[in-house]
Amino acid sequence: MSERLTIGDAEFWRRPLEDRMADFAELQAKGPFTAAKVPNMMSGEDDHFTAVTGYSELVEISRHPEDYCSGQGATNISDMPAEALEFFGSFISMDDPRHARQRGIVGRSFTPRRLAGVLDSVEKICSEVIDDMCELGEVDLVETISQPFPLMVICDMMGIPRSEFDTVLRATNVILGAGDPEMMGGSEDLVGTFLNAGMELAGLMNELAEHRRTNPTDDLTSALVHSDLGEDMLAPHEVAPFFILLAVAGNDTTRTATSIGMNLLAQNPDQRRIWQDDLEGVTPTAVDEIVRMASPVTFMRRTVTRDLTLSGQDFHEGDRLILFYGAANRDPLVFKDPQRFDVLRDPNPHVGFGGPGPHFCLGAHLARRELSVIFRQLFTRLPDIEVVGDPIYLEALGIPLVGGIKHLPVRFTPTARLAHA
């Protein structure tokens, strides 16, 4: 591992995925825990934390929220200011009983039965997105496919009109842009721009929720603000933080997995051939392998609630533990040849959707569906699509919550748009 760079350095995260993972492998070989620090942008001082890179340790922490809580610090390593928590304090950063209540309400709309209509629309939206670029021959995959596809699914799911798509895209890019100047639109006021993006999404969602209270439709927003047979529902102040979570987490994760997945296939043409030769048979394992290798969510924070010992290391109440999912997903104690991209890998007990326990990704089923559809349609409609340049990663100012590719040039033989009814 580079002696100059540590995982708390912004430069560490601006490098190619394989370089970062190679360094994590070196840390992991020394043990499941690594002491680290990051600068606190608010105080100017360093915040110390323990990086968790071992698979079994990450799983153990995820399973025991009573010992390792989510309600301190939100998803940030540094504690968020109260005004930020107003917009970014959804149930992902709560503990029971508040977490159980909100997740239970939202979870009613994420059952396979309730999601059936959304899952059907994924095919249509994907086809629409490919139609918009299939005649061009050479495009930026992120700009034309990875970015619009999952965000359009989320917006349609919530009932956000297409006219507001650019607003949601711009705001989510700021929130998960890790301070990248391109994502910030040139602004140097990181905190102010971040808060403004949250306010913009909250305002949009609050307006829609208010309209749906008197004019319900069959979208998710209507389901969240109307009770069925006396069921509990989200309070007005709880709707916007949930939408921000969904728009950010449900969008950027699939976006990142799509981009990194395409790049992994370019780096491993033998695996692409295996998949493309048997789309239906290989897609389930290939999608999970992309999620394992990409691990779109870089980390989540847990805070120790009492003095305890885990895997021989003592921790104290208030200690910050940062769960690095990508490292755990390449733990050689669990995964054979962990650095190898294998579209037939089975079993594949990855934690790309979070570890087991109350915070396992609510949208995992939808994400798998989106990735299955996008790769199947790309392989079917643009069978010779190929990466023709290096991926450009976020120019992060810190450790990004979602460590994505912001540009990936691809080329293919132009083809006609589909004739839609």
In order, the DSSP letters of 178-227 are TT-TTTTTT---HHHHHHHHHHHHHHHHHHHHHHHHHS--SSHHHHHHS-
**Intervals of the chain under pLDDT 50:** 421
Please check whether residue 166 is in contact with residue 238, taking contact to mean a CB–CB distance below 8 angstroms. no
For position 74, what pLDDT does the model report? Answer: 59
Q: Note the pLDDT tens digit of each residue in 214-240.
A: 999 988 888 888 866 566 788 888 888
Task: Classify each residue of 66-84 as buried b or exposed e, where b means 16 or more C-beta atoms within 10 Å of its C-beta.
Answer: ebbbbbbbbbbbbbbeeeb
Q: Which amino acid is at 201?
A: L
Tokens of 106: 């939202």
Helix 364-381 to helix 236-267 angle (10° resolution) is 40
pLDDT confidence of residue 134: 98
Amino acid at the residue 333: L
**Crossing angle for the helix pair 98-107 and 236-267, nearest 10 degrees?**
70
Domain ranges across the chain: 10-411
Cα–Cα distance measured from residue 153 to residue 145, given in angstroms and rounded to the nearest whole number: 12
CA distances in angstroms from 325 to 174, 335, 367, listed in the order given: 23, 13, 17
What distance in Å separates the CA atoms of residue 227 and residue 241, rounded to the nearest whole number? Answer: 19
- pLDDT attached to residue 88: 67
pTM above 0.75, yes or no: yes
In contact, 307 and 230? CB cutoff 8 Å: no
In angstroms, the CA 145 to CA 385 distance is 12
CA 404 to chain centre: 9
Euclidean distance between the first and the last CA atom of the chain, given in angstroms as a whole number: 56
How far, in Å, CA of 408 to CA of 421, rounded? 32
pLDDT at residue 421, rounded to an integer: 42
Q: What is the pLDDT, as a whole number, of residue 357? A: 93
Q: What is the pLDDT of residue 232?
A: 79
Of 362, 113, 145, whose CA–CA distance to 246 is shortest?
362
Question: What phi and psi values does residue 140 have, to the nearest 5 degrees?
Answer: -90, 115
Domain 10-411 of CATH type 1.10.630.10: yes
